[in-house]
C-alpha cells in the first residue's frame, strides 16, 4: 500500500514534524505509548495509520517497556519500527534499549526531551537522553521542526546502514520545539524512497526469512572470544556510523538540495572568531540571535553520539575561549557537553582554548538573549576559567 | 489423531542443559512435535521461532549460536518475551504468512505471573497472534528455586525457608479476564497424554492469543526424585493440585481426574512440602484449599 501523505510546504509543530518523518519512513510498525511532551507524535501516528493514510501497523502498547519490546520483535523479524517517548519513558526503556543496541537491531526512537525526575517536571532539559550517552546508539539533536522531520529520515538511513545496525535516538526539546509551529516542507515520498530505500538486512542478526531452512539462535550465551568479538563489533559499528554521516548529509543535499554541511554540526557566526559558543538543541537559535552582532562563532552539535571530535577540532580552530552551554549536570559538577570536550580535548580544552562551562535550564528556567549577552561579557572580562561550572543566572 | 500417531521428532538435542527429570524439557520436545504435524484443520505450521525470556531455557537451549531445540530461538530479557513474540508475529501477518508459521513464547512462571505480568496483560488484550506457554515449575528455577507468584502456599523455597505464607496467584482467572480465544492447563504424563495432545493441537491450530499453562515438574526445586517427573505430573492432576481446564469463548471446562487421590499423595514425594506433610493440621488445611478451589472452578463451568 502506498502512502497518501500530502507533500509540500505547511506549518507543523516539532512533534508533528517528527510524526511526518516516521510516516515518510514507511514503517512496518509503530508502537505508541503517551508521555508528555512527546504524546502528539504518537497521536498523529495513530491518526495517520487508522485513517489508512499510511500503511504502518499501529499498536497502543501498555508501557514504554512494551513499546521497546515490540520494537525488538519487529526488528528481529526484519521489520522497520519506530516509537516516540520522553524522559521517564526513555528511562523505563533502559534495559531493553541496551538489549536492542547490543543485539544490533535497527530502529528509531524519537525522544522529546524533558527533565528526568525527581522532582517532577515536564520542562525541557537534556538530562533524559544524555543519561544514555554510554549506549552504542547514535544521538541526534534538532534545532527546528524541519530538521526534526529530516533527522528522523537520517536516523533510519543510519540505523539500517549494514555497517551500523544500531538503534538511533532523535531528540527534540520539549515545548520549545515540540509544541512550536514552524514552516516545514514535507518532501515527496518518491524522493524519500531514493534517500531511504527498503530496509536492508544483516542476515546474521535477525530471524531467517520464511521458508529458509537455516536455524539460528539469537542472543544465546557465547564463549568469551565471541562475546568479546560482539563488543568490538559495537565499537566498530559506532565508528561506521561516524563515517556514514557525511555520506548521508551528501545524499540529502543531492536529493533534496538542503545543505547540512558534513552533517555533524550547525555552525554560524564569525568564522575567524576567537570565541566559540557550543551547545545543543533548540536553544541554538536563541544563542545565534543573541550573539549575532558579536565576534563569536556558534556551534550546535547535531550529533552528540558519535561525538564529533574531529569536526569540533576543526570548527574550534584557533579560538582562545570556548563557552559551553549545557542543560544537564553530572555528579562531578560538569555539564555533559563540557565534560565530553574536556575528556576529548584535554583539561585545557581544544588547542589550548579555555573551556567556560555554563549549565542551567532546569525546571523551566528560560534563557533570554540577555542571559547569553551577560554570559559572553563575563567570559570576555576573565583571563581564564575561574570555576569549573557557572550556573546560568548566577552572578559570574 | 492419537498421541501414538505423532512421532516425537528429535527436536531436543542431547547437548541441552536442562536438569535430569526436567518436566519442561520433555514437554518442549512433545509440544514442538505436535505443533509441527498436520493440525486438526489440516494446516501445517512452521515454528518461526521460540521466544525465550530469562529462564532455564536461556542457558539450556543452545550455545554459540547453535539451537539445541531444532528451531529458531530468540532470547529476550526477563520482562520482554511476550511482546517481542508479538512483534515477530505482526511481521508474519504483514508478510502474509501468518497462517503458515507460528510464533511460540515459552516463558516461566516468574516471567508470566510476576515480572512480565503487565506486558503479558497487554499482549493478551491486544490478542497478539502467538502461542504463549507458561512453563510453570512454581518457582524461580534458573536462580535456584526462589518463591514466585506461582509457588503454592506452604511450599518451601530458598526465599521462603519456612514455607510460603501468601497465596498462589490465580493465573487462570487473570487470563480469563482478558477474554483470550483459548486457555488450557496441561500436564504431561501417561494418563493425561490424550488431554495434553488434544489441547496443544487445538491451540496451535487457532490464531490470536492462545495460552497453555504447563505444569513442569522441577526435581531440584521441588526436591523430588528426578525419575518421578511423569508420576508427579500425573499425581498433581489426580489430587486436583493442578486441575486440567480448558477455556474457549469464555466457557470453562474442567476435566475430572479418572482416579482421584488425596493431596498427600502428591505432596509426600516433595521435600518442599515436608512442613505440611509433617503436620496433620496443615495437611487438612491444604486439602481444604484444594477442595475449595476445585468447587470454585466447578461453579465456573456451570452456565450463569
**Residue B149: what pLDDT?**
98
Q: Can you give the CATH number for the domain in which A333 is found? A: 3.40.50.920
Chain A residues near residue B80 by CB distance under 8 angstroms? 65, 68-69, 72, 96, 99
The kind and range of the H/E element at A376 are: helix A369-380
Q: What are phi and psi of A10, to 5 degrees?
A: -155, -175
ipTM of this predicted structure: 0.96
Same domain, A63 and A131: yes
Same domain, A200 and A221: yes
The three-point CA angle A221-A224-A226 to 5° equals 75
**Residue A1: what pLDDT?**
46
Q: Is residue A2 part of a domain?
A: no
Q: How close, in Å, is residue A60 to chain B by CA atoms?
A: 9
Domain of A330 in residue numbering reads as: 268-391
Q: Is residue A396 part of a domain?
A: no
Q: Is residue A3 part of a domain?
A: no
Burial call B270-283: b when 16+ CB within 10 Å, e when fewer:
bebbebbbeeeebb
Q: Is residue A248 part of a domain?
A: yes
Same domain, A67 and A188: yes
The three-point CA angle B185-B188-B191 to 5° equals 105
Q: In what order do the strands lie in the sheet with A57-60?
A: A57-60, A29-32, A81-85, A108-113, A168-173, A139-141, A303-305
Q: Is residue A386 part of a domain?
A: yes
Domain boundaries, chain B: 12-301
Contact predicate B195/B255, CB 8 Å: yes
B115 at the A interface (CB within 8 A)?
A: no
Choose the mutation target among B90, B121, B142 for the interface with A, i.e. most A CBs under 10 Å: B90
Cell numbers linked to A218: 539469537
In B, minimum Cα distance to A94 occurs at: B77
Mean pLDDT of all residues in B17-45: 95
Dmax over Cα atoms in chain B, in whole Å? 60
Q: Is residue A261 part of a domain?
A: no
**Residue A394: what pLDDT?**
81
- Which residues have C-beta within 8 Å of that of residue B205, sequence separation ≥ 6? B39, B40, B41, B43
Region of B138 on the Ramachandran plot (φ > 0 left; ψ -120 to 50 alpha; else beta): left
Same domain, A214 and A354: no
**Residue A324: what pLDDT?**
96
The number of folded domains in chain A is 2
How many residue pairs bridge chain A and chain B with CB atoms within 8 Å of each other?
150
Fold classified for B12-301? Rossmann fold (3.40.50)
Cell numbers linked to A376: 559572553
Choose the mutation target among A100, A217, A218, A223 for the interface with B, i.e. most B CBs under 10 Å: A217
Q: How close, in Å, is residue A58 to chain B by CA atoms?
A: 10
| Domain boundary, last residue among A256, A283, A305 | A256
A93 at the B interface (CB within 8 A)?
A: no
Task: Compute the distance between CA of residue A341 and CA of residue A183 in angstroms, rounded to an integer.
Answer: 34
Instruction: Tell me the average pLDDT of chain B.
Output: 95
Among B73, B84, B123, the residue with its CB nearest the CB of A217 is B73
3-class DSSP assignment, residue A238:
helix
| Domain boundary, last residue among A256, A280, A295 | A256
Q: What does the pLDDT look like over B172-230, one tens digit per residue?
A: 999 999 999 999 999 999 999 999 999 999 999 999 999 999 999 999 999 999 999 89
- Which residues have C-beta within 8 Å of that of residue A391, sequence separation ≥ 6? A358, A359, A360
Same domain, A31 and A147: yes
Q: Can you give the CATH number for the domain in which A61 is found? A: 3.40.50.970
Cell numbers linked to B223: 526436591
| Domain boundary, last residue among A256, A283, A300 | A256
Q: What does the pLDDT look like over B242-291, one tens digit per residue?
A: 999 999 988 999 999 989 999 999 999 999 999 999 999 999 999 999 99
Q: What does the pLDDT look like over A110-167, one tens digit per residue?
A: 999 999 999 999 999 999 999 999 999 999 999 999 999 999 999 999 999 999 999 9
pLDDT of B304 > 70? The answer is no
3-class DSSP assignment, residue A243:
helix
Same domain, A248 and A290: no
Q: Is residue A281 part of a domain?
A: yes
**Residue A371: what pLDDT?**
92
Q: Is residue A262 part of a domain?
A: no
Residues of chain A short of pLDDT 50, as ranges, are 1
Same domain, A210 and A69: yes
Contact A28 B91 (CB under 8 A): yes
Among A66, A78, A219, the residue with its CB nearest the CB of B91 is A78
A1 at the B interface (CB within 8 A)?
A: no
Task: Compute the distance between CA of residue A303 and CA of residue B42 in angstroms, rounded to an integer.
Answer: 55
Amino acid at each position: 500500500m502506498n502512502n497518501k501523505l500530502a507533500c509540500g510546504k505547511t506549518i507543523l509543530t516539532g512533534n508533528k514534524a517528527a510524526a511526518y518523518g516516521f510516516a515518510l519512513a514507511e514503517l512496518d510498525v509503530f508502537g505508541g505509548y503517551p508521555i508528555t511532551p512527546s504524546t502528539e507524535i504518537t497521536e498523529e501516528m495513530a491518526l495517520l495509520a487508522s485513517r489508512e493514510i499510511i500503511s504502518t501497523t499501529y499498536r497502543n502498547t501498555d508501557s514504554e517497556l512494551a513499546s521497546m519490546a515490540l520494537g525488538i520483535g519487529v526488528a528481529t523479524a526484519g521489520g522497520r519500527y519506530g516509537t516516540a517517548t520522553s524522559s521517564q519513558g526513555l528511562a523505563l526503556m533502559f534495559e531493553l534499549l541496551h538489549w536492542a543496541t547490543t543485539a544490533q537491531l535497527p530502529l528509531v526512537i524519537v525522544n522529546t526531551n524533558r527533565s528526568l525526575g525527581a522532582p517532577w517536571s515536564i520542562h525541557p532539559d537534556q538530562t533524559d537522553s544524555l543519561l544514555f550517552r554510554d549506549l552504542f546508539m547514535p544521538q541526534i539533536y534538532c534545532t527546528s521542526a524541519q530538521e526534526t522531520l529530516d533527522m528522523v529520515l537520517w536516523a533510519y538511513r543510519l540505523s539500517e546502514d549494514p555497517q551500523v545496525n544500531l538503534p538511533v535516538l532523535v531528540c527534540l526539546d520539549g515545548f520549545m520545539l515540540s509544541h512550536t509551529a514552524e514552516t516545514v516542507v514535507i518532501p515527496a515520498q518518491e524522493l524519500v524512497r531514493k534517500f531511504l530505500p527498503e530496509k536492508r538486512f544483516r542476515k546474521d542478526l535477525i530471524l531467517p526469512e520464511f521458508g529458509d531452512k537455516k536455524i539460528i539462535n539469537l542472543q544465546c550465551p557465547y564463549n568469551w572470544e565471541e562475546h568479546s568479538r560482539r563488543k568490538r563489533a559495537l565499537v566498530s559499528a559506532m565508528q561506521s556510523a561516524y563515517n556514514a554521516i557525511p555520506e548521508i548529509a551528501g545524499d540529502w543535499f543531492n536529493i533534496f538540495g538542503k545543505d547540512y554541511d558534513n552533517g555533524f554540526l550547525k555552525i554560524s557566526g564569525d568564522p575567524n572568531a576567537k570565541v566559540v559558543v557550543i551547545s545543543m538543541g533548540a536553544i541554538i537559535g536563541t544563542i545565534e540571535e543573541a550573539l549575532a552582532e558579536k565576534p563569536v562563532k556558534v556551534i550546535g552539535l547535531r550529533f552528540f553520539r558519535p561525538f564529533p571530535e574531529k569536526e569540533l577540532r576543526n570548527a574550534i580552530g584557533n579560538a582562545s575561549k570556548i563557552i559551553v552551554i549545557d542543560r544537564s549536570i553530572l555528579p562531578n559538577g560538569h555539564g555533559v557537553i563540557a565534560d565530553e570536550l574536556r575528556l576529548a580535548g584535554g583539561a585545557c580544552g581544544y588547542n589550548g582554548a579555555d573551556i567556560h562551562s555554563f549549565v542551567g535550564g532546569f525546571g523551566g528556567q528560560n534563557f533570554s538573549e540577555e542571559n547569553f549577552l551577560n554570559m559572553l561579557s563575563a567570559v570576555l572580562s576573565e583571563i581564564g576559567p575561574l570555576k569549573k561550572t557557572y550556573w546560568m543566572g548566577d552572578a559570574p | 489423531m492419537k498421541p501414538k500417531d505423532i512421532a516425537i521428532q528429535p527436536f531436543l538435542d542431547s547437548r541441552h542443559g536442562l536438569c535430569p527429570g526436567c518436566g519442561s524439557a520433555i514437554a518442549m520436545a512433545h509440544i514442538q512435535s505436535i505443533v509441527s504435524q498436520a493440525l486438526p484443520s489440516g494446516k501445517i505450521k512452521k515454528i518461526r521461532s521460540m521466544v525465550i525470556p530469562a529462564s532455564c531455557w536461556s542457558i539450556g537451549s543452545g550455545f554459540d549460536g547453535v539451537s539445541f531445540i531444532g528451531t529458531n530461538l530468540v532470547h529476550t530479557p526477563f520482562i520482554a518475551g511476550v511482546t517481542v513474540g508479538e512483534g515477530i508475529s505482526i511481521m508474519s501477518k504483514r508478510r502474509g504468512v501468518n497462517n503458515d508459521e507460528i510464533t511460540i513464547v515459552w516463558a516461566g512462571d516468574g516471567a508470566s505471573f510476576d515480572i512480565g505480568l503487565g506486558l503479558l496483560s497487554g499482549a493478551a488484550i491486544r490478542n497478539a497472534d502467538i502461542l504463549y506457554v507458561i512453563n510453570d515449575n512454581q518457582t524461580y528455577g534458573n536462580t535456584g528455586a526462589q518463591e514466585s507468584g506461582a509457588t503454592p502456599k506452604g511450599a518451601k523455597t530458598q526465599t521462603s525457608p519456612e514455607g510460603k505464607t501468601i497465596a498462589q496467584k490465580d493465573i487462570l482467572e487473570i487470563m480469563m479476564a482478558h477474554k483470550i480465544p483459548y486457555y488450557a492447563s496441561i500436564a504431561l504424563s501417561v494418563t493425561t497424554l490424550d488431554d495434553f495432545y488434544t489441547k496443544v493441537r487445538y491451540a496451535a491450530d487457532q490464531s490470536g492469543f492462545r495460552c497453555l499453562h504447563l505444569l513442569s515438574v522441577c526435581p531440584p526445586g521441588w526436591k523430588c526424585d528426578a525419575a518421578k517427573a511423569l508420576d508427579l505430573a500425573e499425581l498433581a492432576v489426580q489430587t486436583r493440585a493442578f486441575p486440567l481446564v480448558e477455556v474457549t469463548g469464555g466457557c470453562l471446562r474442567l476435566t475430572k481426574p479418572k482416579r482421584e487421590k488425596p493431596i498427600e499423595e502428591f505432596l509426600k514425594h516433595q521435600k518442599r512440602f515436608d512442613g505440611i506433610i509433617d503436620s496433620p493440621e496443615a495437611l487438612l488445611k491444604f486439602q481444604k484449599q484444594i477442595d475449595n478451589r476445585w468447587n470454585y472452578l466447578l461453579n465456573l463451568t456451570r452456565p450463569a
